[in-house]
Each structure stands twice: as structure tokens, then as C-alpha cells.
Amino acid sequence: MAIVVEFGCTVHQYATQFHEIVFPRPSVCPSCQAQDCLIGHGFYPREPLDQEQVYRILVKRWRCKGCHRTTSSLPSFILRFRHYLLVVIQRALTARHEDRLKEGDVLTVVK
């Protein structure tokens, strides 16, 4: 499970200034609702894409002392189970549905 966190930075800033980022500890376990039970459990890699490059970032992971499940602090610029950044997905959906572009034409707008 993931908790979406707004870090107030872009993916580029997150990647380059990673060691300066403060990761707020969630106060409640999203799985069992226990209070103040999450402890740091390392990081896991993600490689989100934008139109031009792949970013290599780390996502903070937490483990509940009560239910032993893990959760992560997912930056708001990426989505679970998606390779592309949120801004790229948003552009593609806007082009397809609001601008009424055909599927093949959406790629030219997103790139």
C-alpha cells in the first residue's frame, strides 16, 4: 500500500536532492489503523519516465510494528504500477478526451 506525499518538488529535484529530503513518518498504519507504529524499512527503486528521460529515484518504505505490513511514501508525481510520470499521463488523457485526438496522434502531443 502507498501513501501519496507531496514533497513540493519536481521529479528532477527529488532525484538530485534526495539526501536532503525529509520523509514525514505517517502517524497511522493504512493497513491496520494502528497509531504511531510505523518504522523506517529502507527504500525501493523506481524508474519513472517523462518525454525525454528515465529518472532513477528511491521511494521510502515503512513497516508496521503491529501488523508487519509495509507501506511506502510515494511522491505525488508518480502513480502506483505506472511507468510514466503523472504529468505525462495527464497530457495523454487530455489530448485523447478533451482535445478528441486519435490514439496515434496522442503520441505526438505527449512527446
User: For residue range 50-96, what is the model confidence (pLDDT) as tens digits?
Assistant: 878 899 999 999 999 999 999 999 999 998 888 888 888 787 778 77
Query: For 7, which DSSP code?
Result: -
Say what the pLDDT of residue 70 is. Answer: 97
Q: How far apart are CA 111 and CA 96, in angstroms?
A: 14
Contacts of residue 35, Cβ cutoff 8 Å, sequence gap at least 6: 27, 28
Say what the pLDDT of residue 8 is. Answer: 93
The percent of residues above 70 in pLDDT, for the chain, comes to 86
The whole model's pTM is what? 0.80
- In terms of pLDDT, which residue wins out, 15 or 50? 15
